[in-house]
Copies of this chain bind each other. A is one copy, B any other.
Amino acid sequence: MSSNATEILTVTEAAEARRSIRKYEPAPIPRGDLEEILRVTSLAPSPWNVQPWRFVIVEDADTKAKLQAAAYGQPQIGAAPAVIVMYSDMTNALETIEETIHPGMPDHAKAAADIRATFAGMSETDRHAWGFAEANIGLGFLLLTAQAHGYSTSPMLGFAPDAVKELLSLPADVRIPALIAIGRGAEDGFPHHRHNVQRIARFV
């Protein structure tokens, strides 16, 4: 499959096609494909346009081996050509709020002060939990975008956060929604098995 494929899947096709995949073709992912997937991911919404998500893309074999060790040896980390470490960084997001306030907002200095005051009124735990939740919305975007470009993914929650942060020199106060193995899939994965909509939705 060409990495320059112009066939981007629809949202429905991507959601239908997506599986958690643990075996991958070893070929590296073209940098342009990874950047495009992250660009589309970064279009996810966040209140006040705060955009708390950040990414480290691990492709180096030695670093990937250490990351695998920090994730209890999960084999898809070694198998995938790249692993995306997605994290939320509220400290950096608030430090750089002037970059993200929308140009359409009337008074940027006041908006920045108001946003900082809102977050200053939260506990540190709540503030980081807020960024973490927003980053998970972005993770939904990332999984669909990768699939739309023909890449399989395996999001992993099983890892030692402190070990991952130390390995990648991340600040201690960031939060990591998932490590995401990504590459061209080399297995079919399980077909979907989901609740019926009638089971999980109620109309009033």
A residues apposed to B, CB below 8 Å: 8-16, 18, 20, 31, 34-35, 38-40, 42-45, 47, 49, 51, 53-60, 63, 99-100, 102-104, 129, 132-134, 136-141, 143-145, 147-148, 155, 157, 168, 177, 190, 192-195, 197, 199-204
Say how far A203's CB is from chain B's closest CB, in angstroms: 5
A56 touches B202 (CB 8 A): yes
Q: A44-B140, A139-B140, A195-B99 are in contact. Are A15 and B145 (CB under 8 A)?
A: yes
A140 touches B132 (CB 8 A): no
B203 touches A38 (CB 8 A): no
A43 touches B16 (CB 8 A): yes
**How many copies of this chain sit in the oligomeric assembly?**
2
B143 touches A45 (CB 8 A): yes
In the bound complex, residues from chain B placing their C-beta under 8 Å from that of A197 are 35, 38-39, 42
Residue of B nearest to A39 (CB): B197
A45 touches B18 (CB 8 A): yes
12 chain-A/chain-B pairs, Cβ below 8 angstroms: A8-B11, A10-B148, A11-B147, A38-B197, A47-B157, A58-B204, A59-B204, A60-B204, A104-B190, A104-B193, A134-B136, A144-B144
Q: A43-B18, A202-B57 are in contact. Are A138 and B141 (CB under 8 A)?
A: no
Say how far A97's CB is from chain B's closest CB, in angstroms: 12
In the bound complex, residues from chain B placing their C-beta under 8 Å from that of A143 are 44-45, 137, 140
A203 touches B59 (CB 8 A): yes
A204 touches B141 (CB 8 A): no
